[in-house]
Amino acid sequence: MKKQVFIALFSILFATIAQAQVTLNPRVEGRTSEDVTITKVELTSQYTIISLRYEDPVPSIKDRYLRRMNPSMTASNIAIDPESDLQVNSKGKLYSFKFIKAEGIPVRPAKRDVRPGDVVSFVVYFERLDPGLEDFNLFECRDGMDNWHCWNFYHIHIKNPALKKNAKKTPAPVVAKKEAGSTIPPLTVLISGQVYDATTKEVIDGRIVLQKPGAKNDTLKTISSTGVYRKNVKPATYQVTVIAPGYEPATATVTVKENAVEKDFYLRATGAKPAAAEVTPPPVEPTPKEAPAEELKAEVGAKVELKNILFETGKADLLPESIEGLTQVVEWLKANPTVEIRLEGHTDAIGDSKANMKLSIDRVTTVKQYLVDNGIEASRIETQGFGDTKPLVNSTNDQQRRQNRRVELIVTKK
């Protein structure tokens, strides 16, 4: 009898361990903040549970002086963005696992004050990663948005073995989920864009008014000094009016359906002479003359930005101007037949972050397909999209945003 009880208890314990996969101090390839570290990732039947540790750094002499001069600076604060999610780029597709709850740290807009030297341990719960997904990103928020400092992690490696054949569960891509035959639209959709001076093309701040028949007007401001506006709205047709001091108001009709919508506005200064032709944003970026593939060395870790690989605005369609640069990449890969590469895609920070992530993945997938179609083995090319999470510069104008929109080529095997 005792033996049977022991076997039963052992079986329960083994089943529990098998169900709850635990990875202590997982390997992380990149992060945006040195103040936050991941100490454990636990996968249960319901959740992906991530244990983290925040340590407020001891201030420098300069910081201590500034804090003495300004008592309000004696404490900083921490919180987690409720829009946080886990993102997985698998075989050219993006999957997202939503934030559920947190313990030991408040959820924005609430915040917790911390002082120099404080250590805070906290736990964040997300939807359960699908079995087999063992490399994921934790996207907490976007730096520069509403003055929050974000802590994003890239390529977190954990133990999460795939289910045996015939086991169910398939990753759900980052799209609004629908039942078969359903026409139910998503609850809200992001409408975003940027406001410019029509003559100088500099960004300007203003007020955005969203009007929908039969509903109260919705008013919002652009994000300070960026000219960017963002608002989640229900699918409908809106009259969008932009008002800025010293400029003539501009109005456009925008139809919001299932996908995120971007609409930029170009305002004319009050009293300015009408332009000879309608001012519209340039559809493409200027074509650089560099031949980056020729600069690349066949050494592991070597990286080059493919500046002359261009796409249609907001799309993954290659422009004809890209062919010359892509041909150089093909020739370089054929001249180095043992080399394997990774293509990394990046976007600017305008619009919805998830849409940007998907766009970056789609673009590098398009580049890979071109290389494959021109004789390069698919097994030699890995792709990874980062969306707007790894900017080269903090973009406040179109010239800087252009620097953040890029495709990079990295040698992974010689």
Q: The domain spanning residue 305 has which CATH number?
A: 3.30.1330.60
Q: Which domain does 229 fall in, by range?
A: 189-267
CA nearest neighbour of 231 among 193, 174, 185: 193
Q: What's the whole-number average pLDDT of the chain?
A: 77
Instruction: Please report where in the chains the tokens 């404490």 appear, as a residue.
Output: 75
Of 8 and 235, more confident: 235
The whole-number pLDDT of residue 281 equals 47
CA distance 124 to 131: 19
Please tell me whether residues 46 and 147 are part of one structural domain: yes
Burial-class residue 363 by CB neighbours within 10 Å (0-12, 13-18, 19+): buried
Within this chain, do residues 53 and 149 fall inside the same structural domain, yes or no? yes
Same domain, 141 and 224: no
Q: Report the distance separating Cα 126 and Cα 135, nearest Å.
A: 15
Extract the tokens encoding 374.
């021109």
Q: What CATH number is given to the structural domain containing 49?
A: 2.60.40
Within-domain flag for 178: no
Higher pLDDT, 244 or 3: 244
Based on the fold, state whether residues 248 and 368 are members of the same structural domain: no
pLDDT-based confidence at residue 2 (cuts at 50, 70, 90): low
110 — pLDDT class (breaks 50, 70, 90): confident
Name which residue leads in pLDDT, 392 or 17.
392
Q: What is the mean pLDDT of residues 6-30?
A: 67
Counting residues of the chain whose pLDDT is more than 90, the rounded percentage is 17
pLDDT at position 283 is 46
Is the pLDDT at 20 greater than 80, yes or no?
A: no
pLDDT of residue 182: 41
Q: How many domains does the chain have?
A: 3
Per-residue pLDDT at 215 exceeds 90 = no
Instruction: Return the higher-pLDDT residue of 225 and 247.
Output: 247
* Same domain for 307 and 213: no
The yes-or-no verdict on residue 179 having pLDDT over 50 is no
Return the ∠ at Cα 83 (arms to 263 and 395), rounded to 5°: 50
Query: Is there a contact between 93 and 22 (Cβ–Cβ < 8 Å)?
Result: no
pLDDT at residue 252 greater than cutoff 60: yes
Distance of alpha carbon 365 from alpha carbon 296, whole angstroms: 21
> Is the Cβ–Cβ distance between 407 and 387 less than 8 Å?
no
Q: What is residue 187's predicted lDDT score, i.e. its pLDDT?
A: 56
Reported confidence tier of residue 117, pLDDT bands at 50, 70, 90: confident
Task: Name every residue whose Cβ is closer than 8 Å to that of residue 56 and which is 6 or more positions away in sequence.
Answer: 35, 76, 114, 115, 116, 117, 118, 119, 120
Residue 217 in tokens: 């007007």
pLDDT band at 397; cut points 50, 70, 90: low
pLDDT confidence of 65, banded at 50, 70, 90? low
pLDDT higher than threshold 70 for residue 378: yes
Residues 134 and 32 in one domain: yes
Question: Is 179 a member of any domain?
Answer: no
Q: Which pLDDT value is given to residue 196?
A: 86
Task: Tell whether 263 and 296 lie within a shared domain.
Answer: no
Q: Do 133 and 64 have their domain in common?
A: yes
Question: Band of the pLDDT at 290, cuts 50, 70, 90?
Answer: very low
Mean pLDDT of 291-307: 70
- Averaged pLDDT, 333-347: 90
